[in-house]
Every structure is written in structure tokens, then in C-alpha cells.
Amino acid sequence: MAVHCPECGFANPEGANYCQKCGAYLGGVHKDEGEEPTTMTYRVDETGDMQPVDIDEVVQESGAALVIRAGGGRAGESFSIDEDRVSIGRSPDAGVFLDDVTVSRNHALLVRRRDGLYIDDLGSLNGTYVNRRRIESHRLADGDEIQVGKYKLSYLER
């Protein structure tokens, strides 16, 4: 049985949470709405160990950060955005390495422009979504939710 998107009417496979065509949320109320966040934020160091971090300090130091909220069992992992260009993808060379088949090798790119930080989709197969809308390019704002494949990330800036 298909799940029809309330936004565009696309027939999605049963059990889908987001529309494959437009990225709209297919369920009712998000489970995490109204709940206090309980996820620890961390970075993976050179040895592969998880090191707890204070996300407020990360954002203060670099000006911006991405935090994985869900996907791949990596909720809470954070990435400082302290360069003018940061790649997102399944390539091990990516600044934000997301190892899953739902993520293209070179999926998206974070680019600092005169008026802010943008995320640009690089022609990925599954698309890049910001706040549940599929995008080609989008200027990020504090609190934006980014979806890349099965990963959901939050963008934080000072």
C-alpha cells in the first residue's frame, strides 16, 4: 500500500517518513516535538574514539556546525564548519563523511558566500532537503534541518 504525500500527492512506499519527490513529512506529529533533547554531542578523533564536545563551544569557535540528529547510528556527531568550502558525501575525503548508499559520493557542498553559508546539491540521486523541501541551493539559517540520504542534520550558527 502506498503512502500519498499531503503536499504533492506522490505515491511513496509504505513506511516512508518523507516524500521521495518533494521531501514533505508523511507522518502526523514528529515524535521529538515537545521533548527535551537528550543526545550527547561528540566528534570522532583521529583514533576513531568519540570525544564529547560542548556544541555551543564548537559553534563559538568556528561560527557554524552541523550535528547529526538521526541516521546511521551516529546521532550527536558534530562537524565544525570553519572553511569556505566543505563537501558532504559518501567519499571518505568529504569534510562531512556520511557512509551510506542513500548518500552520493559527492552529494552536496557547503559554500561560504558574501551573504552567508549556502548548501548546494551536486546533482545527487536522492536529493538534498532543507526543512523538508528539496533544494538546488539554499542559504542556511540557524536551526535549519538538512536531510542528506537517510541522515538528518541540524545547522547551528552563532
Of 44, 53, 4, nearest to 27 (Cα)? 4
Distance CA 102, CA 90 (A): 9
Mean pLDDT of all residues in 69-79: 84
pLDDT band at 87 (very low <50, low <70, confident <90, very high): very high
In angstroms, the Cα distances linking 50 to 61, 91, 106, 133, 149 are 19, 21, 25, 32, 23
Instruction: Give bridge partners of residue 84 from the DSSP assignment.
Output: none
The stretch 67-73 carries a mean pLDDT of 84
pLDDT score recorded for residue 54: 60
Question: For residue 145, what pLDDT is reported?
Answer: 95
Q: Are strands 85-89 and 96-97 parallel, antiparallel or unpaired?
A: parallel
With helix as H, strand as E and coil as C, how does 76-118 read?
Answer: CEEEECCCCEEEEECCCCCCEECCCCCCCCCCEEEEEECCEEE
What pLDDT does 85 receive? 96
More confident residue, 134 or 7: 134
The C-alpha cell that represents 111 in the structure block: 559554500
pLDDT, tens only, 107-148: 999 999 999 999 999 999 999 999 999 999 999 999 999 999
pLDDT in tens, 16-66: 777 777 777 776 544 444 444 455 565 566 666 666 656 565 555 657 889
